[in-house]
Structure 1
């Protein structure tokens, strides 16, 4: 592997679900890269394909789901073509995941210390005594006081924030090169959320782990990400540097997401919202998938699907507004 090689390259990924109602194209031609030590944020409404993208990278898509096309190159190796045995060696070791619900991800019948140690023994070839010592060190690293005592606690004895810290300890116990975090702060109160985000920031710097963080919360993405991928109806519709994207969004959907996020300086009584919902698999519109909800939609948007084009600023956008030149979209209601 050369130093210039990307840690992760996803090329035209297609993950479909075969159901009685037909084929659901959850991820439909998604491409992106993650550099060594970089944090990529993926944002979008429920149903946009964010989590299925992360599960595809992790190798956790089960029937009726199937990766039907594309490549997932991790350090140059295509994860869609390796054996289950090879994939299992990577899972929890080189690639780890923090799942959305720690309550369902942790085994309620096993002590948290055992659940951390189990991963370390499996991937790090340590004996039980060494694995216990490493587990306690990881609990301390994620900010859990009384780590020696809580090593023997069961998940139900911990708060939601503590359980999420345990999940992070498990995910980072083998010093992964890529950490995937799927809605890591969902259902946590604001104080605990801030602590978890600060923890992830510090740990990223400590062990230089690349992070792919999935969230519907733009505040979380702005706090952690270097670069942002905006997804809608299974496609990437905008990609750019986190500062540029928030300062000057290029896609009407991204603008809508930003405007619908509450700000401390807002004096409006009601939040702005994007009309309608993400289309279901059986009601996918022709042309641009966002056009039924878009206030900037043109005749061309209805019949012709836009491609993901690179702008002079370095951003990428899937929108006919930018066909001839880069434009700044402005919400006239402001």
Structure 2
């Protein structure tokens, strides 16, 4: 995509285990423009987090980026040295992890960890780094920032720790922020505050965000574009309005139908039958074939290609061939 900040092109990240090769990310492509929020959704095990870790070059043995490109401002992150990558991480690329307590070092104060990246990437002295760190804590809505700066992670609540992580991620004004399930470990009230905070920071800094989540409510609130992943593959991608109004892949439809709606009363929610298979248990053809109510013989035999069915709307499904069924026909998830 022209003028994209980040372009991921046919990315393949494999894990080489004693039992065989696991294609955790298998031929994934997408792009993020400046100031855009792109959400990746799917069940646990779909490849969302591995995709984000691949972008940050944080995949460790036995994992390896086996193919494809990750172009950041036209520069292929797959090919650059680890030294150059460390210069980008925390500076132009930043990441918020799912559980801040495990991401913060328990033996160092909040201020010590916050100032480290500021001094490293912005070349500030200790006094300047402290001033910027306290300002960032205030910017993310932490009261008594001076006191919190000198506290240890265990002394803070989950919501405050997540705010600290956001402050650390944004302390060097990154161009791209990757947020991996940033609200999962928080209660509903704190979730809303964190999402509002992220929106405000997007407007102030113009930061692009790659949002990893399984919560469609968060997607509807935050995203411009949505990528639906299953079995390490992109099964559907569209702008947020199109995806919620006209889902084309059975898996996307199942996810949306499984979400409770405030204007509908149901004694029992719809659900997608079965569970995500283990890494060596996916069927030969379409990876969703064993759980799909629209499955055809072709689905079990051949892996479907990615088909563009509208401007910016792509889907990986045989249902959209010339003889395929349509999703509004009688079959549905129960």
Which TM-score applies when normalising by structure 2?
0.96
Partner Cα separation in structure 2 for residue 286 and residue 69 of structure 1: 21
> What is the deviation of 1:312?
2.8
What's 2:276 paired with? 278
Find the counterpart in structure 1 of residue 93 from structure 2.
95
Aligned counterpart for 2:49 among listed residues 51, 71, 79: 51
Distance in 2 separating the partners of 1:143 and 1:327? 51
1:186-221 Cα deviation digits (max 9, x unpaired): 120000000000000110110000000000111111
* Structure 1 residue matching 2:235: 3-state secondary structure: strand
Residues 118, 326 of structure 1: alpha-carbon distance in 2 compared, 3 angstrom cutoff:
farther
2:107 maps to 109
Gaps of 5+ in 1: none
1:230 equivalenced with 2:257 (yes/no): no
CA drift of 1:330 comes to 2.7
2:155 aligned residue: 157
2:288 aligns with 290
- 1:9-64 deviation per Cα after TM superposition (whole angstroms, max 9, x unaligned): 11110000111111111001101101111100000000000000000001100001
CA contact (8 A) 1:250 1:327 kept: no
Do the aligned residues in 2 keep the contact of 1:98 with 1:182 (CA within 8 Å)? yes
Q: Which residue in the other structure is 1:130 paired with?
A: 128
Match of 1:31 in 2: 29
1:7 matched to 2:5? The reply is yes
Q: Which stretches in structure 2 are left out of the alignment for 5+ residues?
A: none
Structure 1 residue 306 displacement after superposition: 0.6
Shift of 1:328: 5.4
Instruction: Let me know the Cα RMSD of the aligned residues.
Output: 1.6
Match of 2:183 among 185, 208, 212: 185
Displacement after TM superposition at 1:223 (Å): 0.8
- Once the two structures are TM-superposed, the CA of residue 314 in structure 1 deviates from its matched residue by 3.2
CA distance in 2, matches of 1:331, 1:121: 60
1:40 and 1:228 in contact (8 A); partners too: yes
Q: Matched residue of 1:228: which SS?
A: strand
Distance 1:314 1:8 in 2: 16
Q: CA deviation at 1:313?
A: 4.4
CA shift, 1:270, in A, is 1.6
Over residues 120-172 of structure 1, what are the superposed CA-to-partner deviations in whole Å (9 max), with x where a residue is unaligned?
A: 00100000100000001100110001111111111111100000000000000
Residue correspondences, number: 332
Distance in 2 of aligned mates of 1:137 and 1:325: 60
CA contact (8 A) 2:42 2:214 kept: yes
Q: Give the whole-Å Cα distance in 1 for the aligned partners of 2:79 and 2:323.
A: 40
- The aligned residue for residue 312 of structure 2 is 314
TM-score by length of 1: 0.96
Q: CA deviation at 1:326?
A: 9.7
CA distance in 1, matches of 2:158, 2:195: 15
Q: Say which is worse superposed, 187-196 or 276-285, in terms of deviation.
A: 276-285
Task: Give the conservation status (yes or no) of the 8 Å contact 1:311–1:326.
Answer: no
Quickly say closer, same or farther: Cα 1:126–1:331, change in 2 above 3 A. farther
What stretches of structure 1 move > 2 A for 4+ residues in a row?
324-328, 330-334
